[in-house]
Structure 1
Amino acid sequence: MKSEWWKNAVIYQVYPKSFYDTNNDGIGDLSGIDKKLNYLKSLGIDALWISPCYLSPQIDNGYDIADYRKIDPMFGNNDDMKQLIVDAHQKNIKIIMDMVANHTSDESIWFKESRKSRNNYFSDFYIWRDPKNDGSEPNNWGSNFGGSAWTYDETRQQYYLHYYGKKQPDLNWENPLVREAIYDVMRYWKAQGVDGWRMDVITSISKNQDFPDNPNPHQLRYVVGNQDNGPRMHEFIHEMNQQVLAPFSMMSVGEAPSSKSKDARMLVDPKREELDMVFTFEHMHVDRKPGDVNGRWAIQPIDIVQLKKTLANWQDNLNGHGWNALYFENHDRARTPSRWGDDKNYRYESATAFATVLHGLKGTPFVYQGEEIGMTNPKFELADYEDIELKTNYQKLVEQEKTISKADFLKAAQKISRDNARTPMQWNSSKNAGFSESDPWFKLNPNYQTVNVERDMNSPRSIFKYYQKLIELRHNEDIFRDGDFKLILPNDRNIFAYTRTLKDQMWLVIANLSSWEQQASCLNDYDKTNLVLGNYDFEEKGTLRPYEAMILRK
């Protein structure tokens, strides 16, 4: 029977470029991850998900892969990866690599050969279409980075499809040679000792082969059934499971941008043999204005009621049908204390409150580097941001279409831009936050002298130590793995509360996700002898202080 080690695990995501630099070129590297394994082991994590470190021109920070089998020299080499895997395994830490199977870089040999002619081995590795009679693009599909999803190639005299940047052409999964090439890459890394895969936008690999127009031209959001969750998606993922995942007992967690909880059942139900878990985007849209033409850049204050409803819906609908992947932060998501909490007045409380809510749910929690010390958004000016998504969307929405003002776009960027999570890891208060002796590839968050690992671990109110306790509970208490979930106070605008029940045990997880004291009458049944974990000293008065969170035994 396949091991389900991931059901008892907490997984830590490393963004290598920004984690730790050992050769002082200003860029984090694989040796840097290796050097910090003791730190990660002390946190208590069970596995590392490493964002792409393959050879890449870095148009999209490594999610544009030129060679799947080669580590990019900026991070080291293949031997460094092998050493990292060996050293991690010695500490009982598993390694999860990032597989980008929807697209490659246009510098991949596959694409270079494909664009040469319409009748060579690689010709159909990508999605090529002739122009319409008037010379225009094949349809009106939009890129997630803004503008058209089609770019004309002079050499082939055809358009190629790209859901992201024009230098990230989409692979043609209808071609069995493409599928086998991807599976072969995965087998190669399994041979090096890799334990599993995080799969980038895996639900986008099947496209509607009729290529119909969408209701709105060049819209930023995928249209389900056309550009995402396409007609052969489940078939392709099941084939991948049978070819690679099941034979080699490799864990899988797929990025599923458009999937709702009922769709996800089909992806993660063990009987269907597809994926172990998927990342939903749904709960990350609770601070987005619904239906706004500016997409994710149209922000609003967090809707706690909607957050609870969405997460509870996933808990309920996957119960007995599959397993949840739990996250608030990653390389594409801003820092929670800044985005949803109060990083100015209640940074410690915000960070630990949202962590308590997440880690108490049923599923596998993912921790993103720096989350465990409460890193915050840097509040840069527009000129300081690097991300291709931000730049292309600024061009489209502010400069061309003028649907959002520069001031509002900046406000949104400071809240939700992907770059907020990509500033270098803050290890200490020394030069460059202890990340590198050289100037880092990306600007540091100016608060690194007060927010860093060294300072946090020595603080009487340490976020790191709070995470250690949460992770210890995940490892030692079966109720977190197997207990039933029930949302309570569903319509309260500030309090997130639920119970976990296993046999004769019942635990309450409760958090005030606001900067004001809140009444919580459900606490009147508890006293400090019931407290399992909390981010304040317990007071028996039936109220919750700003961002107060606790786990209580009934």
Structure 2
Amino acid sequence: MREWWRDAVIYQIYPRSFQDDNGDGVGDLKGITRRLDYVASLGVDAIWLSPFFTSPDKDMGYDVSDYTSVNPLFGTIDDFDALMTKAHDLGLKVIIDQVLSHTSDQHEWFKESRKDKTNPKADWYVWADPQKDGTAPTNWPSVFGGSAWMFDARRRQYYLHNFLVEQPDLNFHNPEVVDALIETMRFWLERGVDGFRLDTVNFYVHDKKLRNNPPNDWDEFPGNPYEAQSHLFSKTQPENIAVLQRLRGLMDEFDDRMLIGEVGDDWNRQVEVMGRYTSGNDKLHMAYSFAMLGPDHNPDHFKNCISEFLTKAPDGWPCWSFSNHDVPRHATRWATTPELTDTVARQAINMLITFPGALGVYQGEELGQTETDIEFHELRDLGYIDFWPDNKGRDGCRSPMVWDATEKHAGFSTGDPWLPVKAPQIARAVSGQEGKDDSILAAYRAALAFRKERDELRYGDTNFPSVADPLLAVSRSLDGVTLTGVFNLSDKEHAVDLTAGVKQVGDAHADLAGSKVTLPAFGFAFFETEDGAPAIG
């Protein structure tokens, strides 16, 4: 029997921005539960909850201080159990974040580890002596700027933090650390969660020899020094495979559970690492990367990402998405003018459903939501504050969900929201799109229903028929039937000739006249052929 996750559409919920039920301006678990009927109505198969664990919130919950308790900001463990029950009653699987590469500096493990060099947890984190001149052990930078090493006066050593200073990295060379993390995951598996999304999954293991990273090839120095290095030693180490195999062993103790990993690596290695981490049926079930979460929006990019994965990991499994809580929303990234935002949003979901593997949809994406313009005094994500204004951080994609344009703060909260709810986002509220056939919300529901109806899109072989740039054609073939999507990835009109006997199916933003289809700016159309016949002449 085919596993549920292989063709799942996973809807990401950012808890503090989804629905606030107690009026404190921050979303909560009860709010999510109340809105699950809406989520199910989209036609998705699972939800992914970003962290809701106890945390000082220096990095919005990605600095965990207790892996097995709920942050009171979001509710209680009983609230989580109620959410699980409601989701399962609606046929939705529940995936939760696991931030294993690092903890908060307020975690009891780190408090003990930093006391001295001989305590039982002294080796649970990555500690290293200074160089003789007092400088850091390596040249490794933090993703958020500055060195990835922080000196601790009590131990007279540096500790590694790939992200914030308040996020010390765990030492995965110590098997006791992996043992402890596995037990925290077991806690949630026994409560019935269906899977885990593993944050920064290739950051777990560092180079034990503490070798310096070499420089990257660059013509102009990047805005973030982190991008100036090729991270050969600070992450994606060979020993990471054994850690993933141990995590998979835990999952295999339970029925029908799933691991999906986030791969953040140098741009030229991301898809290859995805494949390596999902091949062999003994590591991750599937993985995603930032490959499609950036500015690249051209046919070769999408074709190369998918083809590289299918070629290098034929027994691996991908998950593709265009937006999440870490990057600007794709409707803003890819629309060349504001007037084309809805057109880009509608095309994006229809293109995504043609890709092989699981798919990810980020909350609000189904509304064609755009990036919120956050002013400096409104910043809450302080990780990238040193790079302002070239990098405005991640608050712009994390602003609250908009439910009803007639209500205060668009129905998100009766109190002042933790991030502002602004007019351009309110204009895309659910209330203004529900029941309207020409809305982006309707387009998402139609596209996801089309994918469920067409086995070719879920199970079929994948090919890329030859079309001239900027057109992208994706064919999925199964049992003698081929379904081909053609997409114009530009803001200029383009036409393509079709072969005889093709049948247009599904949604479309195109004009079909005889054997020619004309695709307007960011237009698309689907065509069906039989017996291996090509759709494009």
Query: Given the two structures, how large is their TM-score scaled by the length of structure 2?
Result: 0.91
Q: Which residue of structure 1 aligns with residue 420 of structure 2?
A: 443
Instruction: Give how far 1:452 is off.
Output: 0.9
Identity of aligned residues (%): 34
Aligned with residue 235 of structure 2, among 225, 228, 234: 228
Tell me, yes or no, if the aligned pair for 2:10 and 2:45 is still in contact at 8 Å. yes
Bigger CA drift: 240-249 or 512-521? 240-249
2:443 is matched by which residue type in structure 1?
Y
Q: Which residue of structure 1 aligns with residue 385 of structure 2?
A: 391
Question: Aligned equivalents of 2:126 and 2:387: distance in 1?
Answer: 24
Instruction: Give how far 1:250 is off.
Output: 1.9
Q: Which residue of structure 1 aligns with residue 284 of structure 2?
A: 275
Tell me, yes or no, if the aligned pair for 2:125 and 2:168 is still in contact at 8 Å. yes
Once the two structures are superposed, the pairs formed by residues 57-72 of structure 1 within 5 Å of their partners are: 57-72=56-71
Change (3 A) 1:539 1:63: farther
Once the two structures are superposed, the pairs formed by residues 72-111 of structure 1 within 5 Å of their partners are: 72-111=71-110
Q: Secondary structure at the match of 2:144?
A: coil
Question: Aligned equivalents of 1:170 and 1:315: distance in 2?
Answer: 29
Q: Which residue of structure 2 aligns with residue 496 of structure 1?
A: 472
Instruction: Give how far 1:390 is off.
Output: 2.2
Aligned with residue 545 of structure 1, among 517, 520, 525: 520
Change (3 A) 1:130 1:78: same
Q: Which residue of structure 1 aligns with residue 257 of structure 2?
A: 250
Q: Secondary structure at the match of 1:542?
A: strand
Q: Which residue of structure 1 aligns with residue 495 of structure 2?
A: 519
Once the two structures are superposed, the pairs formed by residues 76-475 of structure 1 within 5 Å of their partners are: 76-216=75-215, 219-221=225-227, 223-258=230-265, 259-269=269-279, 271-285=280-294, 287=295, 302-314=296-308, 316-317=310-311, 320-342=314-336, 344-394=338-388, 409=390, 413=392, 417-429=393-405, 430-475=407-452
Change (3 A) 1:539 1:14: farther
1:419 is matched by which residue type in structure 2?
D
2:240 is matched by which residue type in structure 1?
M
2:455 aligned with 1:478: yes
Question: Aligned equivalents of 2:300 and 2:253: distance in 1?
Answer: 36
Tell me, yes or no, if the aligned pair for 1:343 and 1:376 is still in contact at 8 Å. no
Change (3 A) 1:477 1:27: same
Change (3 A) 1:436 1:543: same
Structure 1, unpaired ranges of 5+: 288-301, 395-405
Q: Give deviations 1:263-303, integer Å, cap 9, x for gaps.
A: 3332112x340011111223334x3xxxxxxxxxxxxxx45
Instruction: Give how far 1:517 is off.
Output: 1.2
Q: Which residue of structure 1 aligns with residue 15 of structure 2?
A: 16
Tell me, yes or no, if the aligned pair for 1:196 and 1:251 is still in contact at 8 Å. yes
Q: Secondary structure at the match of 1:282?
A: coil
Tell me, yes or no, if the aligned pair for 1:314 and 1:324 is still in contact at 8 Å. no
Change (3 A) 1:422 1:477: same
Question: Aligned equivalents of 1:420 and 1:374: distance in 2?
Answer: 14
Structure 2, unpaired ranges of 5+: 217-223, 530-537
Instruction: Give how far 1:216 is off.
Output: 4.3
Question: Aligned equivalents of 2:329 and 2:186: distance in 1?
Answer: 34
Q: Secondary structure at the match of 2:477?
A: strand
Instruction: Give how far 1:448 is off.
Output: 3.2
Change (3 A) 1:371 1:451: same
Question: Aligned equivalents of 1:525 and 1:106: distance in 2?
Answer: 65
2:235 is matched by which residue type in structure 1?
D
Instruction: Give how far 1:307 is off.
Output: 2.1
Tell me, yes or no, if the aligned pair for 1:8 and 1:475 is still in contact at 8 Å. no
Q: Secondary structure at the match of 2:244?
A: helix
Instruction: Give how far 1:232 is off.
Output: 0.2
Change (3 A) 1:245 1:224: farther
2:417 is matched by which residue type in structure 1?
P
Question: Aligned equivalents of 1:500 and 1:231: distance in 2?
Answer: 35
Instruction: Give how far 1:86 is off.
Output: 1.1
Tell me, yes or no, if the aligned pair for 2:510 and 2:518 is still in contact at 8 Å. no
Question: Aligned equivalents of 1:151 and 1:491: distance in 2?
Answer: 52
